[in-house]
Structure 1
Amino acid sequence: MFEETLTAAAHGVVVPPSRASDAAAAEPAAGVRCVAAGRVRDIAASAGDPAFIDRCVERYAAAGFGVADEAEVRSWRNSWPPLLEALMRAGLSDLQLYLEYGTPGGGQRLDALLVGSAAQGAVGLVVIELKQWHTARVLDGTRVQRADGLVTTHPVQQVLAYGRFFDFWRPETAPVLDIRAAVVLHNADREQGEALRIRDGAGAGVPVVSGQDLAGPSAALAARLGCEGLASPTPDEVGAFERIVWTPSARLLAQVGDALKGQTTFALVGDQQHAYVQIRALVTGLLQGDPQGAVVTVRGGPGSGKTALAVRLLGYLMRHQEKSRPRFVTPSGTLRTHLLEAAGGHAQARDLFPPVSSLYSTAQHAGSVIIDEAQRMARSDDRPAPALAEVLRKVPLVVVFLDERQIIRPGEGTTVDELRDTARALGRTHHHFELTGSFRCNGSAAYTTWVDELLYGTPTPWTGHHDYDLALSDDPFQLQHWIEQATAAGHTARTTAGFCWRWTRTRGATTLPLDIAITGPATTAGPARTWKAAWNAADTLTDPDGRPLAPHNQLWATHTGGHQQIGCIYSAQGLEYHHSGIIIGPDLTWNNGRWGAHPDQSHDPKLRKLTPDQYLPYALNTYRVLLTRGTHTTHIHTTHPGTHHLLASLIR
């Protein structure tokens, strides 16, 4: 009967009036992060209400997922109706359903999660990945290429990784779980669904359900959706599932901890080692029942080893202090991507590294939180953001790493003084450590001092040639040639620039637009020449056969091909490479013995509307970051004659 009256409309699910009037509101339970929760029948009935999507948008923000953009909402309108209709036709109306279910750490969000009663008292979970694809080309067992050219993870592997979260994060005291998965391609035909089905190895048992399958006989639908044998869960079973305190299993902690510990770049010396030992002692005290809790701040300049110390501390907490329930948070998406890669590629490790947007959720679940690059944290009314304050208030141990001279945008940044005052106001103890060494720039304190004097003090001639290789490039062609030579020799070499040229975002392209153009003056050696280059790619750039041509911007600093694109502050901050080329653009110039800022030359929308005086500290901090990425060599080119003259007088 239901299949005759429920229609998958573009704007929701139409339900018979007799059912709609009794529909539940599908409100998420306390502590469950999702946009809708309830029995399938109740959500299907609520979805007929025109305000249903509006409520989901509100819950999306309340859950800490951010702001649901137009594309996200459009995917809900397109994908939920066929799923709900199929579940009803399959006789699964009494199963518990969560839409946009967020894992507690915030690292993953599941399109749909079904909960039912499985055999032998287990709780059955079915993770469903919804795709709007009409077609996709399989490149191998882990990658597919969409119709728009974008290469992405095979949806079967994607949904398997989501399902493994429940295995890797299930505490021993939780109910036994029967974990299943399915991929639903409601716009694809059966032939396309079969092409994406994996027949051997991991993923062989995961059904790929096409639109034709969804419209097929209702008797086969439950099995096609991976729900065979699942019965309606009792309210107690649903409650038991929702009350699970998800925490990384000892197996995952050991695997990720070993991977991080194995990174040879994380060796600690000097004041790093001193801070590490002292913080470990605090951890021991907290786990022995210290009720007061502690906030630790660690401040250090570029290359002082903040991230190395932060990662070593995380590895210790994961391997030896399981009760501390550690999380590592950074506002830098680039740094987070690299840490996930360093953790051995475990998809389940994403919740150990939750996005900064999920800080509220992190505060509810974590026993310890490490925050790196905290100077990039958002501010609120000249105070640390409420989400950061919530972490400081609720989490027993918070360790914050920051460099106040790396604040690069308005509305960002926190300071040691603010964190100390907040901790004391909350009745927490505060401990502070300074990292004074330099493990980048060949360990040259002379170079980092020279950079600080150049930007913030009185520029002085460079005399530390025996410590560090610093040079001035007369034109960008010379700089590019040097980068290519270093790369050919097997070194990591990258060029960065101030954000002084437009950046065209591309998806599915096979070439990048040459947005950066610098024209030099005509000389006796020849006419004026224009050098052109592309910014780092917004997404991985591939050829028609799916082979990578350029890495994703968050992997630009380390993955093959990155030397052929120009990085900016957002792709370079927090990272390092052997040889660093820097282009100082027209937003920062040296005139009449002082630095001048030109926000009108910036293409960063957050900065263009500032006054020159407001923009100057951000410009100085930005170039300080770019000038301190190279571990062995730095070469500088500037587009402004006066600035070039200054540097030529200092770098001989």
Structure 2
Amino acid sequence: MQVYHGTVAEAGDALRSGRDAFVGRCADDFRRRRGELPGDAELRSWRNSWPVLVDALVRAGLGDLALLLEYELPRSSERIDALVVGARPDGGLTGVVVELKQWDQVTAADSAEAETRGERRGHPCLQAAGYVSHLEQWLADEVLRLEFRGAAVLHNADDRSTALLSDAVRGRVGSGDVAVLGRRELAEPDPHALAELLRCGDLAPPAGSRLAEFLELRPQPSAKLLGELDTVLRQQSRFRLIGAQQEAQRLVWKAATDVTAKRKRVIAVSGGPGTGKTVIAMRLVVDLSRRQSEPKTEARFLTPSGTLLAQLKRAVKHVPGANGMFGHPKSHPPVTAVVPVVDEAQRLAREDWQLERLMTCAPVSVFMLDERQVILPDEGYRVAELREHARRVGAEFHHVELTSQFRCGGSLAYLNWLDRLLSPDKTPERWTESDYDFDIARDPDDLDAWIRHKNAHGFTARIAAGYCWTWTEVDATQPLVDDVVIDWTDRNGERRTWRRPWNAHVEHKDRAGAVTAPGRKFWATDPGGQDQVGCVYTCQGLEYDHGGVLMGPDLVRRGDEWVAQPKESRDDRVNGLTAEQYLPLALNIYWVLASRAMFGCRLYSTDPETQAFLMELRR
């Protein structure tokens, strides 16, 4: 996608005849393609920066080169400010990535950031180099022989500012190769010298047919990208397959690569927490994409969980172009050669068109799910439903069930006990001694002390709760609000109050720049998260060493059965549900919360009758 595609000269004519009209047409095209209008700040940057860049390109004698404005990177929602495309003397095509900045002064810079007007921003050379690397990893063609370069254009900046930026990345691979142009460079009177500064000195107008081939080129991950991802998977222990996971991987691989299959195939992989679904999904994405087969296929990791997606992208952030291997199911285009591997599939919205599109867009589609983790009324498909949808679209169906699990200390005893506890019809049992550290906390202070002790000894320990307290959203400049408030009577008969904020929506820092509260997608893993309370949406799909669970009044024990109280939930997505409709969801929510911890868990209920019931189950 791009909001403008034409020659540099045509863009120059349009801007001279009416800058606002040209920007308006581009904004309309942006809205048609993305379903939203660009923001006011973005529109201002278009009005201020495009005319300066286009004027410089025209004065450099580059009017016949192709210009793409707001060019969307393949397999990414990121956009390049401008991409100038021309033909090299050897016949190959070159794209020059242009990062535009309106900064008028830079007061400090290092290889990652620059300070402008007292604000720390990403170094423009690092941004441009990242875009160049992404294009190199996703666009390759033996005929077009593509090459990419980078330039950072700061049309308001003085020589001191551009020198600071250049010096900060000098000699660094990638960012050190990006040209930096300020006011003086853009005013260069010699056309050839200006073209050289813009990294376009050797480029000629591209043939229309070759430019069309470039625009229609299907993105594919390069061998280098897949090799680097493979290295990450092999080096990081959380991505390694062991024991029964390897056998499950073999079965999934066999079903996914069955060359004798006459129809499309749908593979459902089900398993509880810690059975390796995410690890297998990651391995499949890399291995299927590396597989040499005809027709050539690749795979993409999809998940409806924004928290899991952010965590995985960060795990491979040093691999250029890796973001293109991940996405949300709704953003996945129906590309016939791309195998969708959907993790956390139990969180898919119950939209049959979306599910059937995933099943029919490629020869194979893979769904990793845990039926016990369906937590909303409008989400989640069971294995039987996947089977029925596969039959409906005429696809073969395979089901692989994972049993060996590696979370909760590998303790099936704990998960079996938890399953009986959080069941609408099974009889809970007393907790017996196990290799898993489980107990019922006496009160919130007891729970909090246990969590802080674990964190102090180098473990990752978190407290999560049912969504039973109002959540006050604040920005990064405001202090977090202690929304989670629990009153109780201690053993001496005194009334006590425990208070904590929910996890932050955005990252919070102190005046020295140290993170005091990570953003919600990283609450479960990053330092500072132990000081806030998480919820099911910020921990589902993740794990930590030790976990405390606050059971709110939305799920209480009355006699020998669980009773759901949906009116006690502050989650708008369960509004209007009856107690009977909410009960299985509430049981699943606390199942998720109580199965995140690797080595130990503590439960505490704010409801006195439920707390007394839990205390009776202690060993």
TM-score range normalised by the length of the shorter chain:
0.7 to 0.9
1:126 maps to: 96
Aligned to 2:34: 60
Q: Residues 298-313 of structure 1 correspond to what in structure 2 (within 5 A)? A: 298-313=269-284
Q: Which residue does the alignment assign to 1:231?
A: 204
Match among 129, 137, 145 for residue 176 of structure 1: 145
TM-score (norm 1): 0.83
Cα 1:119–1:538, aligned 2, differ >3 Å: closer, same or farther? farther
Distance 1:552 1:187, change over 3 A: farther
1:456 is aligned to 2:456: no
Does 2:594 match 1:622? no
CA distance 1:587–1:153, change in 2 (3 Å) = farther
Amino acid paired to 2:599: H
Select the residue among 132, 136, 145 that pairs with 1:167.
136
Cα deviations across residues 242-272 of structure 1 (Å, max 9, x unaligned)? Answer: 2322211212211111211233344445653
Which residue of 575, 578, 585 corresponds with 2:552?
585
1:260 aligns with 2:226: no
Match of 2:321 among 327, 331, 348: 348
Alpha-carbon deviation of 1:542? 3.0
Q: Distance in 2 between matches of 1:342 and 1:165?
A: 17
Task: Name the count of aligned residue pairs.
Answer: 602
- After superposition, residues 94-493 of structure 1 pair within 5 angstroms as 94-106=64-76, 108-131=78-101, 140-144=110-114, 153-184=122-153, 192=161, 194-197=163-166, 198-202=168-172, 203-208=175-180, 225-268=198-241, 271-286=244-259, 290=261, 292-321=263-292, 323-343=296-316, 345-360=318-333, 363-364=334-335, 366-380=337-351, 383=352, 385-386=353-354, 388-457=355-424, 458-493=426-461
Q: Hey, what's the Cα distance between the residues in 1 that align with 2:401 and 2:107?
A: 52
Kept in 2, the 8 Å contact 1:261–1:315? The answer is no
- Please tell me whether the aligned partners of residues 555 and 564 of structure 2 are also in contact (alpha carbons under 8 angstroms): yes
Does 1:607 pair with 2:539? no
User: CA shift at 1:235, angstroms?
Assistant: 0.8
Summarize the Cα distance change of 1:566–1:140 in structure 2 as closer, same or farther, 3 Å threshold. Answer: farther
Distance 1:43 1:538 in 2: 41
Q: Do 1:263 and 1:342's aligned partners in 2 also have CA atoms closer than 8 Å?
A: no
* Aligned mates of 2:476, 2:158 — CA distance in 1: 23
1:518 is paired with a residue of what secondary structure? strand
Question: Cα deviation per residue 1:318-351 (whole Å; 9 max; x = unaligned)?
Answer: 4555843121111122222332343362131111
Give 2:6's aligned residue: 38
* Distance in 1, Cα, partners of 2:329 & 2:114: 29
- The alpha-carbon deviation at position 417 of structure 1 amounts to 2.6
Greater mean deviation of Cα atoms: 634-643 or 622-631: 634-643
Bigger drift between 343-352 and 168-177 goes to: 168-177
Judge conservation of contact 2:105–2:161 (CA < 8 Å) in 1: yes
Residues 640 and 140 of structure 1, relative CA distance in 2, 3 Å threshold: farther
Pair 1:217–1:79, CA change in 2 (3 A) = farther
- Please give the per-residue CA displacement for 1:537-589, whole angstroms capped at 9, x wherever unaligned: 33333333434333333222223332223222122111111111111223333
Contact 1:261 1:312 in 2 (8 A): no
Q: Secondary structure at the match of 1:544?
A: coil
Superposed CA offset, 1:252-305 (max 9, x none): 21111121123334444565333322222234434xx85533211111122222
The CA distance in 1 between the partners of 2:536 and 2:596, in whole Å, is 11
Is contact 2:290-2:298 (8 Å) kept? Answer: no
Structure 1 residues 650 and 123: CA distance shift in structure 2, 3 A: same
Match of 1:25 in 2: none
The whole-number CA distance in structure 1 between the counterparts of 2:366 and 2:250 is 13
**Which residue type is aligned with residue 85 of structure 2?**
V
Cα separation, partners in 2 of 1:156 and 1:36, compared to 1, 3 Å: same
SS in 2 for 1:285: coil
Unaligned runs of 5+ in 1: 1-32, 62-67
For 1:18, the equivalent position in structure 2 comes to none
1:139 Cα offset (Å): 6.6
- SS, match of residue 183 in structure 1: strand
2-side partners of 1:554 and 1:145: how far apart? 27
Give the aligned partner of residue 647 of structure 1. Answer: 614
Instruction: Give percent identity, aligned residues only.
Output: 37
Q: Is contact 2:484-2:502 (8 Å) kept?
A: no
Matches within 5 A, 1:489-500: 489-500=457-468
Structure 1 residue 141: Cα displacement: 1.6
* TM-fit CA distance, 1:214: 6.6
Bigger mean CA offset, 588-597 vs 396-405: 588-597
Question: Structure 1's 512 and 582: CA in aligned 2 closer, same or farther, altered over 3 A?
Answer: farther
Q: Is the 2:241–2:280 Cα contact (8 Å) retained in structure 1? A: yes
Q: Could you tell me how far apart the structure 2 residues matched to 1:649 and 1:52 are? A: 67
2:484–2:501 Cα contact (<8 Å) kept = no
Question: RMSD over aligned Cα, in angstroms?
Answer: 3.2
Deviation at 1:645, TM superposition (A): 1.8
The residue type equivalent to 1:461 in the other structure is E
The answer to whether residue 44 in structure 2 is matched with residue 78 in structure 1 is: yes
Post-superposition offset of 1:239: 1.1
Instruction: Encode CA deviations 1:143-190: one digit per residue, 9 max, x unaligned.
Output: 4567796x6643321221111112222335242223122334567676
Counterpart amino acid of residue 67 in structure 2: L
Q: Distance in 2 between matches of 1:525 and 1:148?
A: 54
**Structure 1 residues 307 and 117: alpha-carbon distance in aligned structure 2, compared to 1, 3 A threshold:** same
Counterpart Cα distance in 2 of 1:600 and 1:136: 54
